[in-house]
Amino acid sequence: IYEDASTASAEVAEEIATLIRQRNKEDKHTVLGLATGSTPTEVYAELVRLHKEEGLTFKNVITFNLDEYYPLDPHSLQSYVRFMNEHLFNHIDIPEDQVHIPDGTLDEKEVPEYCRKYEQKIREAGGIDIQLLGIGRTGHIGFNEPGSRPNSRTRMITLDRITRKDAASDFFGEEYVPRRAITMGVGTIMDSDRIILMAWGEGKAPIIREAVEGNIREQVPATYLQEHENASVILDEAAAEKLT
């Protein structure tokens, strides 16, 4: 629990940077699993600063984003492709072909095969070293909504009503929020060596309490993280206020 989101985010960015530097020295790749939304923005800003001011290079970094709305054009305002470019990729030296974000433009019948290949690419990269996560008010991680199984893999899902409500302002109305998304599965996330879930603000306090202290159950997919050997929950004081 940190005093505020900025201090916590700087700490998370430092952990990521430390791994990248170490792997660079060994001439090895670092594989990052990345989240979008309001939660990780300060981590990305700090990584950009470390690149610009302290020479941190991302030439050996491979990234896999958790999710993307479906259907959605990558150029649209709400696209996670656009989000990642604006917050991170446009400002660092990562080679384009080392960036992976689920494709919201596919024909529906192409999706299952695409998802299998996404999983295969993660495996071929050697698996995810550090996975960043936010948490939705439904308890989703990625877009694994309530009902998601612990062994689920990358797939198309239907977004929860609450998630679509929370995205309504981004889409200028709930009716414009896509009903579906492509997301890494719970199993995909759980295969990561290290998981860092972050949450800021009092709005997240009730679901953080459930995720951290509640019984492990599919109604709150974030509770599955309790069984991961190397997962941390990083909070500001407001998000932690309902923990006992």
Binding site for ligand F6R (CB under 6 A): 35-39, 66-67, 134-136, 140-143
Least Å from the CB of residue 134 to ligand F6R: 2
Least Å from the CB of residue 143 to ligand F6R: 6
Is residue 68 annotated as a catalytic residue, yes or no?
Answer: no
Complex with ligand F6R: residue 51 or 102, whichever CB lies closer? 102
Query: Which residue lies nearest ligand F6R, judged by its C-beta?
Result: 134
Least Å from the CB of residue 201 to ligand F6R: 8
Least Å from the CB of residue 64 to ligand F6R: 11
Residue with tokens 């080392």: 98
> Taking the alpha carbons of 196, 137, 152, 171 in that order, is the dihedral positive or negative?
negative
Complex with ligand F6R: residue 52 or 172, whichever CB lies closer? 172
Least Å from the CB of residue 32 to ligand F6R: 13
Torsion of CA 87, 93, 97, 98, to 10 degrees: -80
Complex with ligand F6R: residue 39 or 152, whichever CB lies closer? 39
Complex with ligand F6R: residue 21 or 237, whichever CB lies closer? 237
Complex with ligand F6R: residue 41 or 57, whichever CB lies closer? 41
CA angle at 208 for the pair 144 and 5, rounded to the nearest 5°: 105
Q: Which residue in the list 42, 46, 68, 145 is annotated as catalytic?
A: 145
The set of catalytic residues is: 145
